[in-house]
Amino acid sequence: MAGPEEEKPIVSLLADDPLERPRIEAFVLGLSESVDALQDLEQEADFGGIAGLAFGLARDADLHGFPALARAGKAVASAAGTREAKQTRDAILELTEISRRVRLGHRGAAPPGF
């Protein structure tokens, strides 16, 4: 069973920056599409596609202040590099859960300092 810390919504480290907020929200809005694409690539056993997309997602997550999501994306890219289906699937599942928490942290949230 997941502990309380593993269930908490994740908010960007840059959420207090009014200039970053629109960029963060755009990133979060596109997150489900990226996760869906990773899952589709996993079904196709396209390890190269998974690695490329996951690496880009990790880079963007880091840029937008989501270090946990960035680490998960790097883990997916690394797992895909091994071409091991189970390891890749497990890493994608972890990334999917973290992305769910990121979306929770930014869905309908009051602006920081409210």
Assigned domain for 113 exists: no
Number of domains in the chain: 1
Assigned domain for 101 exists: yes
Q: Contact, 11 vs 109, CB < 8 A?
A: yes
Domain that holds residue 59: 17-106
Q: What is the pTM of this model?
A: 0.88
pLDDT, one tens digit per residue, over 1-39 is 455 566 899 999 999 999 999 999 999 999 999 999 999
Assigned domain for 8 exists: no
Assigned domain for 98 exists: yes
Q: Which residue has the tokens 């069973």?
A: 1
